[in-house]
């Protein structure tokens, strides 16, 4: 008796893999973006097939650091089926398949993805990227971007040199704050953890990391930049063999009217972590008090 054995249809790049890359990877893995290699064509992607397989099986890519749970509206993680497709493609020879099966190429907007900004804040000075070594966090105070209270519901950071910007944090320093008092505005400077003003409870306007350059709050929610506030940029650069310069920009879109809810992004830090050798479950804690509704943010 003959038994029909189902044949295995190996995944092909254009038909099966490329749509996954477009949805989950090309935000960073495209020409001119932050990842070190683009995955826009078969020729670009094929040499990395095994590395891509390992990264998705170990769930290192796409990067997502939240614990199990959710769902989260911005979770970029691959589904089990998508992971299987990547694995089977890499294990079966990384076939290209007919180019006619390729999805339409995505048209990436290399400029503002929040529409035309109502205000653009540019670092007053360019930072020179070193060719080697570790770069200390760089801070810059940009004075008073708002002459009156401004509610912001969309914002975007555009690095001037995306390969060099590891991440950026933009803080709102309200008028009268003692944080970084006496530091020169419009100039880069560094902070030591031992300095008394190295930490702040100021509201974080935006945090940029590769693949996450835009924030957009739901209707009725927005960030407040009070009149007379400064913006403090914390820039984390990495060295590049070719060097270069960076002048990062921040684009802001103002909310239409006063929102129902103010969004606050506050931080709690514990930077004195001493993990004993061989301890697999060392625990550390940090506590803080959030502002009461309607009260000023503590400094």
Q: pLDDT (tens digit, 9 = 90+) per residue, 232-285?
A: 999 999 999 999 999 999 999 999 989 999 998 888 777 778 888 999 888 888
Asked whether residue 104 carries a pLDDT value surpassing 90, the answer given is yes
- pLDDT at position 284, please? 86
Asked whether residue 298 carries a pLDDT value surpassing 50, the answer given is no
- pLDDT at position 169, please? 95
- pLDDT at position 297, please? 47
Distance between CA atoms of 162 and 247, rounded to whole angstroms?
10
CB atoms within 10 A of CB 255: 19
First and final C-alpha spacing in the chain: 81
Asked whether residue 3 carries a pLDDT value surpassing 90, the answer given is no
Where are the domains positioned within the chain? 13-101, 119-262
The answer to whether the peptide bond before residue 10 is cis (omega within 30 degrees of 0) is: no
In our burial notation (b when 16+ CB lie closer than 10 A, e otherwise), range 157-185 reads bbbbbbbbbbbbbbbbbbeebebbeeeee
Q: How high does pLDDT run on average in the chain?
A: 87
Question: Tens digit of pLDDT for each residue in 165-187?
Answer: 999 999 999 988 888 988 999 99
Asked whether residue 144 carries a pLDDT value surpassing 60, the answer given is yes
Range scoring the smallest mean pLDDT among 46-50, 91-95, 189-193, 204-208? 189-193
Question: Tens digit of pLDDT for each residue in 186-233?
Answer: 999 998 766 766 678 789 999 998 777 788 888 899 999 999 999 999
- pLDDT at position 299, please? 37
Q: What is the mean pLDDT of residues 96-125?
A: 90
Question: Are the C-beta atoms of 138 and 189 separated by less than 8 Å?
Answer: yes
Please report how the helices 49-57 and 80-91 are oriented relative to each other, as an axis angle in degrees rounded to 10.
Answer: 150
Distance between CA atoms of 40 and 195, rounded to whole angstroms?
46
**Bridge partners of 167?**
236
What percent of the chain shows pLDDT beyond 90? 58
CATH of 119-262, one of 3.30.930.10, 2.60.40.1840, 2.60.120.230, 3.10.129.10: 2.60.120.230
Following DSSP, what letter does each residue of the chain receive, concatenated?
---PPPPP---BIIIIIHHHHHHHTTTTSSTTSSSSS--SSHHHHGGGHHHHHHHHHTT-SS---PPS----TT--PPPHHHHHHHHHHHHTT-B---GGGPPPPP---SS-SSSS-SEEEE-SSPEEEPSSS----EEEEE----SS-EEEEEEEEE-SSTTTEEEEEEEEE-TT--TTTTPPTTS-B---TTSTTS---PPEEEEEBTTB-EEEPPTTEEEEE-TT-EEEEEEEE---TT-EEE--EEEEEE-SS--SEE------------PPTT-TT--------PPPTTSPPP-
Asked whether residue 116 carries a pLDDT value surpassing 80, the answer given is yes
Q: Is the pTM of this model over 0.85?
A: no
Could you tell me which residue, 74 or 18, shows the higher pLDDT? 18
Is the dihedral angle over the CA atoms 104, 105, 106, 109 positive or is it negative?
A: negative
**Bridge partners of 233?**
140, 170
């Amino acid at each position: 008796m003959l038994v029909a054995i189902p044949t295995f249809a190996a995944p092909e790049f254009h038909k099966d893999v490329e749509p996954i890359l477009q949805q989950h990877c090309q935000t960073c893995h495209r020409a001119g973006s932050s990842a070190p290699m683009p995955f826009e064509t078969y020729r670009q992607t094929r040499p990395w097939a095994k590395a891509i397989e390992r990264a998705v099986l170990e769930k290192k890519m796409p990067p997502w650091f939240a614990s199990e749970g959710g769902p989260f509206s911005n979770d970029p993680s691959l589904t089990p089926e998508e992971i299987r497709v990547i694995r089977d493609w890499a294990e079966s020879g990384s076939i290209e398949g007919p180019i006619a099966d390729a999805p339409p190429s995505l048209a990436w907007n290399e400029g503002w993805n929040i529409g035309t900004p109502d205000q653009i804040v540019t670092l007053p000075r360019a930072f020179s990227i070193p060719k080697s070594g570790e770069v200390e966090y760089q801070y810059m105070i940009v004075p008073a971007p708002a002459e009156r209270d401004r509610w912001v519901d969309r914002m975007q950071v555009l690095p001037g040199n995306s390969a060099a910007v590891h991440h950026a944090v933009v803080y709102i320093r309200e008028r009268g704050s003692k944080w970084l008092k006496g530091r020169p505005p419009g100039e880069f400077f560094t902070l030591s953890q031992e300095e008394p003003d190295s930490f702040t409870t100021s509201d974080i306007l935006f945090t940029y990391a590769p693949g996450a350059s835009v924030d957009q709050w739901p209707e009725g929610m927005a960030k407040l930049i009070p009149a007379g506030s400064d913006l403090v940029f914390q820039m984390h650069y990495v060295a590049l063999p070719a060097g270069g310069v960076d002048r990062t920009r921040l684009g802001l879109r103002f909310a239409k009217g006063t929102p129902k809810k103010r969004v606050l992004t506050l931080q709690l830090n514990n930077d004195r972590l001493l993990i004993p050798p061989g301890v697999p479950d060392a625990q550390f804690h940090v506590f803080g008090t959030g502002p009461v509704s309607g009260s000023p943010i503590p400094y």
